[in-house]
Each structure stands twice: as C-alpha cells, then as structure tokens.
Amino acid sequence: MEILFLGTSSMVPTKERNQSSVFISYKDQGILIDCGEGTQRQFKLAGKSITKITKILISHWHGDHVLGLPGLLQSLAALGYSEKLMIYGPKGTKKRFDAMFEAFVFDKPLNFEIKEIGKGAFFENSDMELIVYQLDHGIESLGFRFEEKDKLRIDTKKAKKFGIPDGPLLGKIQENKSITYKGKKIKPEDIAYIVKGRTIGIISDSVPCKSCNQIAEDVDLLICEATYTSKLSDKAEEHKHMTAKDAGLIASQTNAKRLVLNHLSARYTSGQEIEEDARLVFDNSEVARDLMKIKL
C-alpha cells in the first residue's frame, strides 16, 4: 500500500505546494482523494500514470479540491481509459458534474459513474472497505476511512507438523474454513493466525468534531488538514478549519499511530511551525510534502 501526496497546500498554491490531492495505491485499486488544480501534472512529476485511478473521492466542492477535475477527465478520455471510473462525492455532486460538462467541451467519451454519499460504508470488496463521515466546514464536507480487512496467514511450521501440502487445502484454511486431512479435522486456528488489516483516516477541511475522532480511531495513518498553527486559532475557527494542534489532539485522543499534516496555508513556507504545533500534543507528527510517498 502506497500513499502519494500530490498536493499539500490549501486554497492558494505555492512554488513548493500544489492544491489538495492524495492518491492511495492498493492492489488493483487507485483511489484519488480530491483533485486540486494541477493534479494531473503532479502525477507526471511522481512518475505515475493517471490511468491507475479507479476511484475519485471528492471531499467537498471548494475550488482547491476540485479544479483539476475537468483536465484530468479529459486526459483520461484522450488516453483511452477503458475501465469504469467510479466518482464519489457529497450531495449535489451529480448536478455539479452536469454543470462541468456544460462548461467544457469533452470530445471523447469516458465511462464513469457518480454516486452521492453521506454516511457509512460506500464501497467494499474482499480486501477492503471505504467509509464516509460528515465533517463540519460550513458547506457539506466529507472525511474518509480506509479499512483493510483482517487476513488469515498460515503458520508454515504448524502446517508442516500436520503434513499439509501447499495447495487448495491451505487455501481453504485462509478462507477461514476447516479441513479434513488424513482423517483428522484441522481448524483454521490450529495452523493460522490473524494479520490485522491496515487503516487510514483522511480528515479534509473541518473544525474538530465527533466524526474526526471516529475517522481517526486506532488508525495506522491519519492524514489531517492543518491549515494554521494554534497561534491563529481564531482565524481557523472563523474559516472552519483546523490548527495543527487540533489535529494532534485528535490523533492523541484516538490512539492513532502516525499523523501526517496536510492542507497548509501558503503563509507557512517550510511547514516547521505546523509540525512543531502538532508535536506539542502528539509527537509522531510530520508535515506532508508534495510528491512525498508513504508505504504501509
């Protein structure tokens, strides 16, 4: 699993920071969270093809989170994107896409489906689940939680003691099914153990709220907006944004393992102030940089 930060600024981009976008690569899934202006160019700088995108999650419809969509969709169509692109966003997303297609000329077709989401699980397969939460940002804003499912892993030493050969019998054990081998019933717990799935929380633009804590609960990685330091807490409250210290408190309160601070105001050139502000309350904090990659 790889997390790629394509854009880490807030409303105003800087020389070092593009507008908001994060890309999660996991098995056959390529999940793009938000698509700020310039996102497709960031893909090129990262050496990754936009055709790897299978899903786009839109947190909300402020421009710094969606202005890259028209160009990205046109490029996908021009590249002959053959998959069905799934697009998820808050209520009103379908209407806004209709307006987008009225405003721009799309010469080539693109196979996509839009789903408006608001609360709870909205995608699930045998490997993972995606869950959406309502945030508090003045307009409808969504946060997300990526949950990998727990897996059974074979203890090879125990399997050898039973003499079970590699093949379909071990496959059944990994499916959590008992087997019979040489007249003896063998349960999954006899030769397998559980590997806990990895979790990622993504908190987009919001003030601290109950949903933020639900998103962050016990996650391996929390990606959280941190537009200001706590010195500008009044400004953060006025614009319904979070401070880095707010993000650190959420991570601390929810047993998150690691906090990556995102969506910085253009006034913070290095990000050091933001990181120090979060570390006052949660030591395992760091500031995201454009094109930074994290492997889980």
Q: What is the pLDDT of residues 42-90, one digit of tens each?
A: 999 999 999 999 999 999 999 999 999 999 999 999 999 999 999 999 9
Q: Are residues 220 and 270 in the same domain?
A: yes
Same domain, 162 and 268: no
DSSP collapsed to 3 states, the chain: CEEEEEECECCCCCCCCCCCEEEEEECCEEEEECCCCCHHHHHHHHCCCHHHCCEEECCCCCHHHHCCHHHHHHHHHHCCCCCCEEEEECCCHHHHHHHHHHHCCCCCCCCEEEEECCCEEEEECCCEEEEEEECCECECCEEEEEEECCEEEECHHHHHHHCCCCCHHHHHHHCCCCEEECCEEECHHHHEEEECCCEEEEECCCCCCHHHHHHHCCCCEEEEECCECHHHHHHHHHCCCCEHHHHHHHHHHCCCCCEEEECECCCCCCCHHHHHHHHCCCCCEEECCCCCEEEC
Closest by CA to 259, choosing from 274, 241, 238, 239, is 274
How much of the chain, in percent, has pLDDT values that exceed 90? Answer: 82
Burial 158-172 (b: 16+ CB within 10 A, else e): ebeeeebeeeebbee
- CA dist 275 → 208, 264, 268 (Å): 18, 11, 11
pLDDT tens for each residue of 261-295: 999 999 998 899 999 999 999 999 999 999 999 99
* 184 and 204 belong to one structural domain: no
**Of 171, 193, 215, the domain-final residue:** 193
234 shares a domain with 139 = yes
Give 176's pLDDT tier (boundaries 50, 70, 90). confident
Alpha-carbon distance of 79 to 63, in angstroms, equals 25
**pLDDT confidence bin for 162, thresholds 50/70/90:** confident
pLDDT in tens, 194-251: 999 999 999 999 999 999 999 999 999 999 999 999 999 999 999 999 999 999 999 9
Please tell me the pTM assigned to this model. Answer: 0.91
Number of domains in the chain: 2
* Same domain membership, residue 269 and residue 126: yes
Contact 19, 67 (CB under 8 A): yes
Contact 118, 132 (CB under 8 A): yes
Residues 6+ apart with CB under 8 A from 97: 87, 114
How far is it, in rounded angstroms, from Cα 25 to Cα 49?
12
Same domain, 22 and 66: yes
Give pLDDT tens digits for 10-33. Answer: 999 999 999 999 999 999 999 999
Q: Do 173 and 291 reside in the same domain of the chain?
A: no
Region for residue 97 given its phi and psi (left: phi exceeds 0; alpha: psi -120 to 50; beta: otherwise) = alpha
The CATH number covering residue 247 comes to 3.60.15.10
* 31 and 95 both lie in a single domain: yes
Residue 105 belongs to what domain range? 2-150+196-295
> How distant, in Å, are the alpha carbons of 6, 66, 188, 200 from that of 44?
10, 18, 45, 25
Alpha-carbon gap, residue 205 to 202, rounded angstroms: 10
Asked if residue 268 and residue 241 are part of one domain, the reply reads yes
Rounded Cα–Cα distance for residues 133 and 78 (Å): 34
Residue 178 CA to residue 210 CA, distance in Å, equals: 41
Residues 258, 175, single domain; the answer is: no
Rounded to whole angstroms, how far apart are CA atoms 124 and 142?
18
Residues involved in catalysis:
64
Are the C-beta atoms of 191 and 158 separated by less than 8 Å?
Answer: yes
80 and 97 within one domain: yes
Q: Residues 107, 130: one domain?
A: yes
